[in-house]
Every structure is written in structure tokens, then in C-alpha cells.
Amino acid sequence: MQNHIDQVEYKGIIDKFIYQKDEYKIGILLSVNGKVTFKGTLYGVTKGQEVILKGRWVNDQKYGKQLQISSWEKPIPKTAKELIAFLTSKYIKGCGVKQAERIIESLGSNAIEIILKEKESSLLKVKGIRKKRAKQIYESIKESFSLQRTIEELSKIGLSPEIAIKLFTIYSDETVKVIKGNPFLLVHHKILKFPEADDISRKLVMYPLTGLRIEAAINYLLDENCAKYGHCYISETELVNKAISLLNNKKNDFINEQSVLQSIYSLEDQSIVIEENRVYPKKFYDYEEKAAVKLISLLNSKKKVFNNEVKLNNHIKEYQLKNKVILSEEQKQAIKAVLNNKVMILTGNAGTGKTTVLKAIIHIYQQVYPKDKISLSAPTGRASRRMKEVTQHEATTNHRLLGYNQGLTNIEFEYNSSNQLKYDFLIIDEMSMVDLHLFHALLQAINPHARVLFTGDADQLPSINPGNVLLDLIKSKLPCIRLREVFRQAKESQIITNANRVNKGKSIEIDQTKDDMYFIQRANDMSIANTLIKSAVRFIEKGYSISDLLILTPMKNGEIGTYRMNSRLQDILNPYSINKNEVKQGNKIFREGDKVIQTINRPEDGVFNGDIGIITHIGSNTKGDNGNREIDIISCDYQGIQVTYKKDEWREIELGYSITIHKSQGGQAPIVLIPMSMAHYNMLIRNLIYTGMTRAEEKLIFIGDMNALNKGINTNRIIERRTTLANKIQKNIEKLTEFHKKRSKNIENVL
């Protein structure tokens, strides 16, 4: 931008929009001087409405002369035509043409000012408008002009229209007053980070020693550290030091240790809990406490256990004969342990037969308890579908099992402590991916007499969100069976053998006589990327589909990161064609036939974060201002589940030709390709590599630098997550054991 001229003001009518996103519009204005091209963000305007724009003329290198908007406003309608257009627009609810005409007839050309001043009572004078409708019309008018003022006022302190609108949905016409009174609420609502909100507070000349500022910094640091490292608490000493550093970031700032400690103690039992020098966000402390208590109540429930050894052995023999399988002693012990305990953990590495024993457990349990209802669930759609395939039993995601509401109501899950699930036996798989929040929600929804089996591989990557649930369950004194024997069939697979070698810190060994695993040596990132693409093309030529390929990379950035790889793979595997519709969103292109990944949970449609699908259709449901159809929908197929996204939902999907290893958890594919480069030095960690390897069903191909792979194998740099769930479970078990001892002793004394 260059050639800035003094600020000018234009008044005119919106002619048409050249771009539209949600309710923000950038378009062409017909002014008194003809067409004026402008750049800016407008809210709540429609074609034919009058607006006033203020800004400066600039010469854009790409678009030429443009009016750069500094502020804008909708003048209050005065003429009958303007009033009817405004009152019948989509922004005013409950008002049709006839009602608009009656309002003008009754209130005159100053109708809007009168309504804003006298509220709904002014509309009750209008024929045909009752109290409910009057309130609806007034609230819509007030919101339309109040939001405009909110955007304008908050822009003066550096907040964008998008942020102003988010805040307006929370605080309505009190937004400006509330935010100017406490800009640190922007941190509370996770709209801005603390340093950004702190800068705004300085613009408002807030006193830097204010308690609000220190408390916001403490909550921010606690949330940031837990989110970044997966912790459930940090030490009080560390929190104080970090807070002092964050708060004293400007020349004249001086916050001492005593001030920080005072704020920490004032927040106790509000947003934080302090226990033995550990400071928890209150929600994580409560999750751990309630989870530990619920687990013990399940252990202590009155539901009978099946401990008839003879009958159980007969059931196992019958199952082996019927299914022509031989179960190991470990697997038999696992079956017995599940039927002998109310709560059980089953863990094991790749190839140890977890799915085999799971199938046997379900079959034998149904023989023992034919009337019981069984639930199978997993964290992702891919994991639950695979669970269904191997067990031949219905399975779902944990979120769908709980009836996730996704902000539709104040209750996060339909099933909870007040409305519990009706299942008698719940099997929850891939527990390494389950975070503390979801674990707590699952436990609260389980009825007190149910039996629960948690399964998973503790050596895979932990959950993205705070907590280390599976490891904590194993560390506690809850009943647990670890499968260790790798079966003959698994031993024949180089993928399984080498995955277990990697898990033990040993280098991979490639057998050239087998064709299920390869390492292709390449010297630099560009040659790694080129070979990845050539390998993908070769598998497609051999008859594999795009869905059969999983290209996993440790990072998003760089030549072999997901962003660059997705762009290149799209160009090669699904190039532009006049026969395929496509649409651009930001710097991304979506095209029919593209492989995509869902990035948030969408339980109402049966797809969840991490699910991979194919774009089947890009089209339109509506006509644009010029009468032509505008692309506004993308339809995808997720292994038989059809989902259609409106324009404002496109942000939920990303290209999925290449995904991170973290995103691949819970899913598998026939072909897995993994780049290995020192460019990903910080992410080359043993459990990351192990997790990626175990995603492959038929073939696993590493491409890159063997030194990088060995570096990852030798790096067992697992950040120990700070949790206390295991300790809390153990303490509750000890209390329960002591209670039963005393009870038995009392009975003996009576006898």
C-alpha cells in the first residue's frame, strides 16, 4: 500500500458483494461518484442498504486504487423505503412487510429512534403487534445498532470486528463497558493471550499492580503449562517464578513474590486448588478426585463376579474349538480377570493379541451373562470402526456414547452422573488417547453396578490434552493384565517385530527377502519429499486407493511437513480438472476427490476429530446477488458416513493426504509412508516413531536419513506428565481395604 491521502467519507448504497464469509462482507459500493472499490469488514449489511464509509485512498499493487476503511456505520433509516428495507431484512426477526408499513404509519420517519428509546412498549401501539413479537423486533433492532457501536468502540483499543462479535454474543450491549472495565476477561474466554490483553489494559491506563492483572496472569500460566505439557498441576514455586517474569515484562513494572502469592491464595477454591506445593486448575483437581472415588465405588459395587473356575475353563475350551484358535495362558488369564473383577485394565504392545483376546472376552461374557448389555467404544471414529470390524460387535466413539452436545446446551454430555448409561459391561479401547476430562465424563456416566474394561498400549503417544490416564491406571493398584507374548504370526511381520524393537530402544532390522517394510535412504528434505510423492503414485498405479495410503510426518512445517506435502500431493494425486468442482478458502484449495481430515468433533453427523474422508461433491444450494449459483457446500464421505459442510463450516476440514503422527492415533491403513529427517530433530522421539509404525497394516516405508531414525529411537525423552490420579486411586483402594479388614474383624468378634 502507498500514496496515502487524507481521510474521506462516502455515503452510498451496497450494490453487490464480491466476497462473503459468515456475516462479514467485503464488496462494491455505489456512491454518489459512481462505483468505489473498498477493502474492509462490514457486519450486518445487505444489498440495497445505505452505509457511511470513512477511510483513506490507497494504491494497492494488485488491485489499484482502493478505499481502505478505518470505520463505517449504518445510518438510521428515515425514508419509508429505507425503513421497510431495514425492518424486513434478515437481521430483524418477526417483522414482515405489512407490519413494517404499520410501524411507519404509527411511529413515522423517526420509528427506529423511538423504538430504541421507548423499547417494545412503543411497538405495542402498532396494530397487530403483541407483546412477544414487539420484544422480538425491539431486541433485533437494538442488537443491530448496539453491535455496530461495540465494533467501533472496541476497534479503538485494537480489537478486531471478529473479536468484538464473539464478545457481543457473551455480554450483548454491555460488552464495551465490561471489557473496558476488565480487559483480562479476554484471557478468561481464551480470545487473547495474557501479553496481548495486558497491552490493551495499558491503553486503558489500568494500574499495573491491579489484582485482576496478577490473577489473570496466574490463571493464564496455569492453563498454558497444562495445555502445552499435558500436566494437571505445576509447583507453586514454578508458578510464582513464571508469574513474576511475565508480569515484570515492561520497564516500570515491579511485581514482587508476596503480591503473586497473595493472588494465588485469593484464587484458591475459585479457579485453583493448592495441595502440598502443587497448584491445580480446579477442574483438573476435581476430575482426578471424582474419577478416583468413582473407580473405587465400581470396585465395591454389589454386582456379582463370576469366579467358577471349572465353568470358565469350559467356556474358554468351547470358544477355542468353535473359532479354531489357541489362546495363550496370558490371554486366558485376561478373560478370567475380566469376569472376576468389576474394573480391569488390559494392556500390551503390538502383536500381543489384544484384539484376539477382546473378541474372546465379548463372546464368553455373553455366554455367562446373556441378558447383559455390552458397550464398545474408542476415542475416534476410525478406532471404533476398526473395533467393530475385529470384534463383530457394534462400537461407537466415546463422545457419541456419552451424547456430546457440542455447545448446543449447558450440559456437555447427555449421559452423566444424573443420567447414567444403561450398559452392564463397558469396554473402552485406545485408552492412551483418552485425556483426564473425557475419562472423568465416562466414569460419571457409568452406572454403579456396571463392569468396565480399559484397554490400550501404554507405550503409544499419550492424549493431546492434559492427563496420562492409561499410565496412571496401570501405576495404580487396580487389577491389570499386561500381554507380553508376541505371537508367531506377528513375529513374521517386520512391521510388528521392528515396532517392538523400536519400543525397546533398538535399531530396526530390514529383511530384504520380505516385502512388508523398507527403508529408502535419501540425503535431503527435497529428495525425501520427491520420493514420498513417487512412492504414493506407484502404489496408486498398483491399484491402491488414496484412502489406502497414510503419509505420516512428525511436524506440520517444512518441506516434508503436512502443509507442503498436502499441497504437492493434491497436485499430483488429484490435479485440477474441468470435470471437478473446486473452491478456494484462504490459501487452501478443496477439490472434488480430495482426501480430507476432520479437525473437530461433529457427533450429530457421526464424524470426529481425526476422521479421514473423501470430498464427493462441491456445489451450491443458493443463488448469489447476480442470480448465479455460488459455491457454498462441500460434501464428504467418511467410510460410508455422508457429511455436508456449509461455507462457515469449511474450517472444520483440512487436506488429509499427509497428517501428523499425533493425528493418526486410533487409525490404520494398508500402506504407511513416514519421512525421516534431522529437520524434525525436536520431534524425533521413540514413542512417536513407535506409534507411527503401528499404524501400518500391510506395508511400512521409511524414507530419509537413517541417522534421524536412530536418533529418534535413542531418544526416550518423554516429558513426565504431572498427575496425581494414580496416587489418589491407591489411597482410595487402601481406605477400602482397611474398611473391609475392620468389617471382617467385627464379624469375627460377633461370631
Report if residue 30 sits inside a domain: yes
Same domain, 568 and 619: yes
Q: What is the mean pLDDT of residues 95-119?
A: 85
Tell whether residue 351 is among the known ligand binding residues.
yes
Question: Which residues are CB-contacts of 231 (< 8 A; sequence separation ≥ 6)?
Answer: 225, 466, 721, 722, 723
The domain spanning residue 706 has which CATH number? 3.40.50.300
Residue 19: predicted pLDDT: 41
Q: What is the mean pLDDT of residues 205-228?
A: 86
In the predicted structure, residue 179 carries a pLDDT above the cut 50: yes
Most confident of 281-295, 345-359, 620-634: 281-295
Tell whether residue 242 is among the known ligand binding residues.
no
The candidate with the shortest Cα–Cα distance to 103, out of 172, 92, 149, is: 92
Same domain, 389 and 322: yes
Report if residue 189 sits inside a domain: no
Report if residue 193 sits inside a domain: no
- In this predicted model, what pLDDT tens digit does every residue of 724-735 receive, in sequence order? 999 999 998 888
Range scoring the smallest mean pLDDT among 51-55, 103-107, 110-114: 51-55
- With DSSP H G I counted as helix, E B as strand and the rest as coil, what are the percentages for the chain, rounded to 5? 45, 20, 30
**Residue 328 domain boundaries:** 306-490
pTM reported for the whole predicted model: 0.81
Residue 626: predicted pLDDT: 42
The candidate with the shortest Cα–Cα distance to 140, out of 154, 157, 123, is: 123
Number of other residues whose CB lies within 10 A of the CB of residue 477: 12
Same domain, 365 and 514: no
Mean pLDDT of the chain: 85
- H-helix segments, 542-620: 562-573
Dihedral over Cα of 639, 640, 646, 649: its sign: negative
How far is it, in rounded angstroms, from Cα 96 to Cα 128?
12
Helix 257-267 to helix 211-229 angle (10° resolution) is 80
Tell whether residue 193 is among the known ligand binding residues.
no
Report if residue 387 sits inside a domain: yes
Residue 23: predicted pLDDT: 39
- In this predicted model, what pLDDT tens digit does every residue of 402-433 receive, in sequence order? 988 765 556 788 999 999 999 999 999 999 99
Range scoring the smallest mean pLDDT among 329-338, 369-378, 407-416, 717-726: 407-416
Report if residue 141 sits inside a domain: no
Determine the residue type at 568.
R
Q: What is the mean pLDDT of residues 184-208?
A: 86
Report if residue 660 sits inside a domain: yes
Tell whether residue 352 is among the known ligand binding residues.
yes
Same domain, 419 and 527: no
- In this predicted model, what pLDDT tens digit does every residue of 180-193 receive, in sequence order? 989 999 999 999 99
Most confident of 301-305, 393-397, 437-441: 437-441
Cβ contact 657:533 at 8 Å? no
Same domain, 455 and 318: yes
Q: What is the mean pLDDT of residues 201-223?
A: 85
Dihedral over Cα of 151, 153, 158, 159: its sign: negative
Residue 30: predicted pLDDT: 44
Dihedral over Cα of 471, 474, 478, 482: its sign: positive
Question: Degrees (nearest 5) of the Cα angle 591, 596, 599?
Answer: 130
Residue that finishes a domain, picked among 56, 75, 94:
75
Residue 4: predicted pLDDT: 44
How far is it, in rounded angstroms, from Cα 112 to Cα 305?
72
Question: In 3-state terms, what secondary structure has residue 515?
Answer: coil
Same domain, 581 and 702: yes
Same domain, 316 and 423: yes
Report if residue 687 sits inside a domain: yes
Most confident of 43-47, 104-108, 256-260, 646-650: 256-260
Tell me how many domains the chain contains: 3
Dihedral over Cα of 509, 685, 233, 447: its sign: negative
Question: Which residues are CB-contacts of 341 (< 8 A; sequence separation ≥ 6)?
Answer: 299, 305, 451, 479
Same domain, 678 and 567: yes
In the predicted structure, residue 24 carries a pLDDT above the cut 90: no
Cβ contact 666:382 at 8 Å? yes
Cβ contact 728:721 at 8 Å? no
Same domain, 480 and 517: no
In the predicted structure, residue 682 carries a pLDDT above the cut 50: yes
Same domain, 557 and 634: yes
Q: What is the mean pLDDT of residues 29-44?
A: 52
Q: What is the percent of the chain where pLDDT is above 90?
A: 48
Residue that finishes a domain, picked among 451, 467, 490:
490
Q: Please report which helix (H) or strand (E) contains residue 655, including its range.
A: strand 653-655
Q: Where are the beta strands (DSSP E) in 292-367?
A: 343-348
Q: What is the mean pLDDT of residues 139-167?
A: 80
Determine the residue type at 704.
G
Report if residue 437 sits inside a domain: yes
Residue that finishes a domain, picked among 451, 474, 490:
490
pLDDT confidence bin for 641, thresholds 50/70/90: confident
The domain spanning residue 23 has which CATH number? 2.40.50.140
- Cα Dmax for the chain: 104
Same domain, 422 and 545: no
- In this predicted model, what pLDDT tens digit does every residue of 588-616 receive, in sequence order? 899 999 999 998 878 778 788 888 999 99
Tell whether residue 561 is among the known ligand binding residues.
no
Same domain, 594 and 497: yes
Q: Compare 501 and 56 and report the one with higher pLDDT.
A: 501
In the predicted structure, residue 35 carries a pLDDT above the cut 60: no
Provide the β-strand partners of residue 597.
612, 654
